[in-house]
Amino acid sequence: MGVSAGVTEMPVRGEHPALDLVNTVFVRGGLRGQLVDALTRPADLAEWIAGHSASLGPLGSDPVADDDAGRAALASFTDLRDRLRRLLTAAVRGEAADPADVAAVNLAAREHTDWTALPAAGYGAPEHGTDAPRTPDAVRARTARAAVDLLTGPALELLRACPAPGCVLFYLRTHPRREWCSPGCGTRVRVARHSRRRGEGAAP
């Protein structure tokens, strides 16, 4: 999908991990720009996973290599990404999602495991945790689980598709004044409005 780019070129990073995955496809160059894909090589996926070690866990012994396994991991990540894009789009429009997307994301999320254990005393408040993901598939499962939590939790109210013309990114409106995915989109829209007004003023 689109031309390739590095993960570091993403205009918006550090959102919810499910949005950060979807936002690896973006438009460079505004309204008449081109669609760019930041996940086209196993190395891109390795970099994306490393950038989300705080929320999704560090990937330990099984890094994403440039081999068949790495390419398979990349393909399953981009499949999840495409499904999440359709799910987010349906959610912001208030439309029902494609049942195949719901089923696939549920299946991926089910691979995420967390545990509940007895505390040291043997009774009382339980301990909860998740094991660090050891494979890209485990990170994918966590990403899917995070998406389920997002689409079924209170943060759903904050979910927005950036309204700037030509932009395809999603964000959480965590601040009431956040109208765009990024300052870049806000600037672009203001400049376009300004030049349109000037254009109208100059018309006979």
Binding site for Zn ion (CB under 5 A): 162, 164, 167, 169, 181, 185
Q: How far is the CB of 117 from Zn ion (least distance, A)?
A: 43
Nearer to Zn ion by Cβ, of 52 and 160: the residue is 160
Strand, helix or coil at 132? coil
Nearer to Zn ion by Cβ, of 28 and 110: the residue is 28
E-assigned strand segments in the chain: 3-4, 25-28, 34-37, 114-117, 127-130, 159-161, 170-172
* CA neighbours closer than 13 Å in the CB half-sphere of residue 22: 27
Nearer to Zn ion by Cβ, of 113 and 187: the residue is 187
Rounded to the nearest 10 degrees, the angle between the axes of helix 68-93 and helix 136-152 is 0
Q: How far is CA 32 from CA 61, 73, 165, in A?
A: 43, 32, 9
Q: How far is the CB of 148 from Zn ion (least distance, A)?
A: 25
Question: Sheet harboring 3-4: ordered strands across?
Answer: 3-4, 34-37, 25-28
Nearer to Zn ion by Cβ, of 7 and 164: the residue is 164
Q: How far is the CB of 105 from Zn ion (least distance, A)?
A: 24
E-assigned strand segments in 44-150: 114-117, 127-130
Q: How far is the CB of 70 from Zn ion (least distance, A)?
A: 30
Nearer to Zn ion by Cβ, of 108 and 164: the residue is 164
Strand 3-4 relative to strand 114-117: parallel, antiparallel, unpaired? unpaired
Q: How far is the CB of 121 from Zn ion (least distance, A)?
A: 51
Q: How far is the CB of 163 from Zn ion (least distance, A)?
A: 8
Nearer to Zn ion by Cβ, of 138 and 162: the residue is 162
Q: First vs last Cα of the chain: how many Å apart?
A: 44
